[in-house]
């Protein structure tokens, strides 16, 4: 039992604790709320209202409400983890402690791949910048000058994160204020320009394509992508003053503010699109730059100019937060032993994991290169992160079930919230559709090869790595996650969300829910057994 604690540099040893304590606890409620809000509001607000309307018509309003409620449910579980076990890059650390090296490797691998999400935001900036600089693109791929500019922007974002976390928070606060002002002005200006009554009943009614389209809009309309990112404050839990009190309010406030903003934008879009564009119903409404072009049609040229400027700033703000989050994730992966511990180093003066920033800069630039299928691959990055939500639900249940790690349980009903959260995250993944999951889930399963490579005969444990058990034991402990990913892939191929339709709606979603519930209890049982052999290290003190 004590063997886990004796190897130098391990997660709970003085070397790791010393690095963790270098993280400055400078973040309060408003800074964390701004981080969460800024990470949620990126390029999504510029497009999601159009795509959601195309998919579900006015019923897309229900999709936004549903996404907000479901994300709040998932957030409650992650808040429990962040407040009870505050740690830099916690969303990567918790699955390792509760599920073993295989689960930690697969989740860590998916997080490392999700760095492409930051590259996608930078790409969105480039797309809008092409309105003024058309030479940035050769067709649908970045030109040489476009790659150079995108790489330069990545360097700037990394440099801005290079200094103390307090500077990061202050600059992010300023960006978040602009992110609020521009959408509010957009809603007010569009509504003042003309209000078309009857939009909830005309052109096919409130749900012209059926209420099942509300589920499709969650993924196909860009709603999940737009609301995703609420977990950002939790990755700064190790740098938060009084995380038990601050984190819950900040995370839920970020979700609430973002959903209210998205609902207002959806209403403004639905009620101000000119009648002349609705001849083919909501399916026929098409814009390349929805709010910018709509403003031009309504002779709001000043608003259009402002929107094109914000089309650079909003994704830039999300990319700015994304660079900081990616560094914390890489820092945590180094603590896990998935990456060399060299990248765990935290600069003593600034409290920033600078080596992690550098490795993520390299990954971001690689994703920006105009390689084949890049756009299709980066479209799955947001869905990959949903797997962390599922793994976090299991982690919360495991820690609550193990007497050595049980916390005060200050979120009521955690016993039923964790399985419900796991099912919700699984449905979100499934509703993304076969076109996305046929790429995303096999890519995550590629982490299994990384795990086997790390455990091949003749390799020695990394400094501070938990004591290795026989490979068969490690595979049994994490087998639930491999089966979970494989089953979701098969069900997606057979289901009604872009699959063959052999498993029709709503039976496909019900099957996913039943399977997810069974796998959840398997995962919790495996995790509690694992903790009896390899206890989780005590979290670094929050104060």
Residue 164 has pLDDT above 70, yes or no: no
With beta carbons less than 8 A apart as the criterion, state whether 29 and 250 touch. yes
pLDDT of residue 8: 38
Return mean pLDDT, the chain: 80
pLDDT tens string 76-126: 888 888 777 776 667 778 888 899 889 988 988 887 777 777 777 787 788
| Angle (CA) 63 66 72, round 5° | 140
Give one DSSP letter per residue of 238-286, joined into a string.
Answer: GGBSSHHHHHHHHHHHHHHHHHHHHHHHHHHHHHHS-GGG-TT-GGG--
With beta carbons less than 8 A apart as the criterion, state whether 497 and 430 touch. yes
- Pair of tokens at residue 139: 């067709």
Q: At 98, which helix (H) or strand (E)? A: helix 90-99
Give the range with max mean pLDDT: 263-272, 278-287, 435-444. 263-272
User: pLDDT band for position 7 (50/70/90)?
Assistant: very low
Distance CA 11, CA 190 (A): 53
Distance CA 424, CA 74 (A): 8
Q: What are phi and psi of 263, to 5 degrees?
A: -65, -45
What is the mean predicted confidence (pLDDT) over 231-235?
Answer: 74
pLDDT of residue 143: 82
pLDDT tens string 443-459: 888 888 888 887 777 66
With beta carbons less than 8 A apart as the criterion, state whether 103 and 478 touch. yes
Residue 491 has pLDDT above 90, yes or no: yes
With beta carbons less than 8 A apart as the criterion, state whether 462 and 337 touch. yes
Tally helices (H) and strands (E) across the chain.
22, 2
pLDDT of residue 88: 62
- Of 169, 145, 156, 198, nearest to 37 (Cα)? 169
pLDDT of residue 138: 76
Distance CA 294, CA 289 (A): 8
CB-count burial class (<10 Å; 0-12, 13-18, 19+) for 11? buried
Who has greater pLDDT, 492 or 322? 492
- Pair of tokens at residue 36: 């969460």
Distance CA 211, CA 294 (A): 27
Distance CA 393, CA 335 (A): 21
pTM over 0.75: yes
User: pLDDT band for position 466 (50/70/90)?
Assistant: low
């Amino acid at each position: 039992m004590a063997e886990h604690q004796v190897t130098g540099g391990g997660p709970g040893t003085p070397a790791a604790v010393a690095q963790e304590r270098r993280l400055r606890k400078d973040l309060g409620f408003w800074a964390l709320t701004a981080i969460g809000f800024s990470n949620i509001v990126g390029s999504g607000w510029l497009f999601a209202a159009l795509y959601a309307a195309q998919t579900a018509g006015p019923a897309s309003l229900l999709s936004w409400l549903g996404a907000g409620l479901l994300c709040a449910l998932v957030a409650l579980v992650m808040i429990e983890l962040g407040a009870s076990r505050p740690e830099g890059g916690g969303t990567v650390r918790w699955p390792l402690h509760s599920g073993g090296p295989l689960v930690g490797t697969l989740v860590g691998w998916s997080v490392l791949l999700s760095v492409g999400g930051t590259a996608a935001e930078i790409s969105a900036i480039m797309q809008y910048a092409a309105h003024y600089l058309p030479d940035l693109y050769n067709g649908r791929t970045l030109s040489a000058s476009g790659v150079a500019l995108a790489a330069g922007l990545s360097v700037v974002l990394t440099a801005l994160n290079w200094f103390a976390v307090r500077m990061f928070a202050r600059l992010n606060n300023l960006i978040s204020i602009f992110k609020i002002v521009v959408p509010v002005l957009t809603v007010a200006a569009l509504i003042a320009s003309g209000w078309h009554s009857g939009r909830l009943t005309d052109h096919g009614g409130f749900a012209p394509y059926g209420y099942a389209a509300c589920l499709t809009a969650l993924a196909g309309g860009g709603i999940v992508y737009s609301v995703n990112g609420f977990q950002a404050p939790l990755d700064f839990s190790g740098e938060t003053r009084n995380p038990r009190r601050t984190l819950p309010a900040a995370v839920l406030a970020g979700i609430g503010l973002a959903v209210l903003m998205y609902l207002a934008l959806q209403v403004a879009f639905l009620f101000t699109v000119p009648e002349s564009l609705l001849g083919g119903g909501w399916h026929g409404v098409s814009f390349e730059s929805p709010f910018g072009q709509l403003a031009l049609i309504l002779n709001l040229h000043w608003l259009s100019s402002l929107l094109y400027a914000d089309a650079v700033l909003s994704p830039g703000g999300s990319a700015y937060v994304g660079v900081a989050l990616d560094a914390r994730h890489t820092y945590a992966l180094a603590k896990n032993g998935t990456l060399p511990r060299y990248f765990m180093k935290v600069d003593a003066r600034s409290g920033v994991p600078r080596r992690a920033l550098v490795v993520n800069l390299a990954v971001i630039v690689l994703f920006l290169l105009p390689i084949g299928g890049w756009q299709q691959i980066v479209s799955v990055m947001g869905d990959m992160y949903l797997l962390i939500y599922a793994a976090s639900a299991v982690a919360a249940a495991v820690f609550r079930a193990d007497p050595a790690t049980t916390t005060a349980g200050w979120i009521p009903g955690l016993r039923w919230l964790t399985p419900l959260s796991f099912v919700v995250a699984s449905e979100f993944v499934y509703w993304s559709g076969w076109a996305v999951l046929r790429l995303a889930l096999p890519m995550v399963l590629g982490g299994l090869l990384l795990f086997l490579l790390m455990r091949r005969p003749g390799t020695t444990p990394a400094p501070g790595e938990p004591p290795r058990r026989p490979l068969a034991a490690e595979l049994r402990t994490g087998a639930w996650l491999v089966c979970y990913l494989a089953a979701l892939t098969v069900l997606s191929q057979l289901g009604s969300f872009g699959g063959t339709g052999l498993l029709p709606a709503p039976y496909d979603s019900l099957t996913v829910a039943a399977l997810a519930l069974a796998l959840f209890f398997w995962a919790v049982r495996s995790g509690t057994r694992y903790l009896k052999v390899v206890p989780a290290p005590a979290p670094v003190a929050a104060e």
